[in-house]
Amino acid sequence: ARSDSAQSKMMSGVGGFVLGLLFLAVGLFIYFRNQKGRPTLQPTGLLS
């Protein structure tokens, strides 16, 4: 029972880590896709 609880704890930790990575990847994907979708005629003075 002890190893079972430790395994479930580890699995939940790994699951949370993978979920975090997934959300991060999706967020970056949407961000970069929006950046590409913007017209390049816009002045880039906002960044500087």
Q: How far apart are CA 20 and CA 27, in angstroms?
A: 10
pLDDT of residue 36: 76
pLDDT of residue 43: 57
pLDDT of residue 20: 97
Residue 16 backbone phi and psi in degrees, to 5 = -65, -40
Q: Residue 3 corresponds to which tokens in the numbers above?
A: 């190893």
31-47: buried (b, 16+ CB within 10 Å) or exposed (e) per residue? eeeeeeeeeeeeeeeee
Q: Select from 42, 18, 22 the least CA-distant residue to 34.
A: 42
Q: Any idea which residue has 């961000």 for tokens?
A: 31
Q: What is the pLDDT of residues 2-43, one digit of tens each?
A: 678 899 999 999 999 999 999 999 999 999 888 876 665 555
Total-model pTM: 0.53
